[in-house]
A and B are shown apart, each in its own frame.
Chain A
């Protein structure tokens, strides 16, 4: 072996760990650098129109704390998340149960069930906006056919939040349902056979067996959907732009107004850093609960 090839070999053997680590490093840097930039910018008065970018310390955060619009956005974000996650988890669970009953044409039902997830959320929002149009929309037409009064749907401040929750549930409920279905299909048979021998009711079995055994799956669905709902932007913006008044103005939509409508980037970044902190704290808590549940159910 020549000296040159020996030194080449020693270079690879010495640095192989670093080289293999490199793609992960680049990926992490690609995530962390923009994030770090956003955090830094949240301490400035960065404005695209005025061309300013001065360090103002916690100025944006102090302003946020005093801004009633931010507190309203936080309230709307939480209400939206609770409403959407409740429907998605509840209906997703029920759908998973139905899809696991072994009905005829089960494969077709499962494919149809997944269709909404394949739609880009903004497209789904526009589709629903047309169906919810108060005058020419199909929803009010159907309501009037059965003698019920029409609703203002996305155009009324009392109905708009519920309407965007419905759209979000339409798009993401199948996602929750499919994860639940996988969980239901992997449930161990023995405890159910033992329960059948003991002659316990199906409600008891569901409450005391199915729910505890599915706890890790439920927590995973909650983790994904809560994170997603807290950040939800495209459905709400495409459907209502945060209106009427500020009825559907979530933190993401408000940050968008401040950034890409009003060019007030520093303040927009402060919104997003706060949103990130909320998402991170909740995710941290849910992951902890999930680990605990996995250890309870699977013993590891």
Chain B
């Protein structure tokens, strides 16, 4: 009897150890897929990465991929502007340094037209490379997924045709404000853009009494399309405006466009950071997290930084709200999604595809968000994961405030607002120049936007039928 008990104890012990080991084995999840992960063992692939929270979430997970596949991953990380310029040099010169890279729909339109990015459909449809059931593509939110598809129609065709990138994070643009200061100063959360101007002007004035001074609103401002893209394009779209007409004529200088641009420039002049044109989004985020601004009208996912006490002095003090509405009550937000794509110049395209599959698999994306704060997730299963819910539920002035905004963006307000065309970033660069000129008082809003529209029309002439 004693022997039987002893054997039973040993077996239970051994079973528990093997279960524990299986649970801790990070490869087990991926090995369930009907994919030969080892098919390209010994290959080294190089990934181009932007300095971004997604990148920070990916790096600690890379050893799992290397162990799983035997593929070595080298990477280059650069700040956003420098990253896209380096990538352009690599792709246009035929250098082929990068096998895979971080990309986004706005850039994919150029890369696709120039033949620099792979159509992922052919890898997706190859049963030797992909286990579709295991990967579960339907788990992705539709908006970021379709934003990475384009049929090549200049001025349209989004969500159809080629599949250029797999979305790894998504951002919309909302209001984040210091709720502690709002209560102290007796301010309300702005519901319209004139209201936003009024509130931020008051906040900038009241902030002068604080030590150190608190400024009104943080917003990116460098001479780049990206300055146009976030809070400003959200306001512009909310007023029912488009960058280009269906005939590819610039539409940034309509009366309504000028009206909202005037409000936006007034906000920046009266309540924006001194030296706004030198502000990057990195500066805006860090200075808001350092408590130097009352509000920021930029990416919603910055919340993960604001609410992290290790990176922020305002954790637990921030309120989140939808962007203000147009006079007719409508709200629109622009959208940006970072994605992973494969270079057409890569010599290891299949190995790069395995990397994409792994990096965007449900488990990898969950680990990235849960352990390393990669917000906002693009997979429903990650956003709805209990751990992620618990973490993000606390953000805001009341439980679930932040999550409600992201849900509303996904469901209703947010989407990509740019008109698809290969020169979209050039359109944005010219537009940004107009904002700078108006902000600096070198031109009136009318002159600045009219001049920028003329330049855009000249540049876009080659795409008109």
Contact = CB atoms under 8 A, between A and B. Distances in A.
Interface stretch (B175-183, B399-407, B418-426): B418-426
A262 interface: yes
A266 interface: no
Contact of B274 (A135, A247, A262): A135
A261 B274 contact: no
B256 interface: no
A261 B275 contact: no
Contact of A243 (B88, B222, B425): B222
Interface in A117-138: 129, 133-136
Given A154-B278, A155-B279, A157-B442, A135 B110 contact: no
A171 B278 CA distance: 21
Contacts of B92: 48, 263
Interface in B54-99: 81, 85, 88-89, 92
A55 B396 CA distance: 60
Given A49-B113, A136-B287, A241 B222 contact: yes
A134 B224 contact: no
A197 to B, nearest CB: 58
A36 B433 CA distance: 33
Contacts of A257: 429
Nearest to B438: A245
A83 interface: no
Which secondary structure dominates chain A's binding surface? Answer: loop
A261 B273 contact: no
Contact of A245 (B275, B423, B436): B436
B138 interface: no
Interface in A161-191: none
A154 B278 CA distance: 6
B437 interface: yes
A116 interface: no
A134 B423 contact: no
B114 A48 contact: yes
B121 to A, nearest CB: 22
Give the size category of B's interface with A: 35 or more
Interface in B267-286: 273-279, 283
Contact of B215 (A49, A135, A240, A263): A135
Nearest to B223: A243
A59 interface: no
A134 B273 contact: yes
B275 A153 contact: yes
B223 A49 contact: no
Given A48-B114, A244-B436, A133 B88 contact: no
B110 A49 contact: yes
A105 B439 CA distance: 50
A65 B433 CA distance: 21
A111 B426 CA distance: 45
B289 to A, nearest CB: 12
Interface of B: 81, 85, 88-89, 92, 110, 113-114, 215, 221-224, 273-279, 283, 287, 290, 292, 422-423, 425-426, 429, 433, 436-437, 439-440, 442, 459, 462
Nearest 3 CB-CB pairings of A with B: A155-B275, A243-B223, A244-B277
5 contacts: A50-B113, A155-B274, A156-B277, A241-B81, A243-B223
Given A134-B273, A153-B275, A245-B277, 14 more contacts: A47-B462, A48-B114, A129-B278, A135-B273, A135-B287, A150-B274, A155-B273, A155-B277, A156-B440, A240-B278, A241-B224, A244-B436, A245-B440, A263-B92
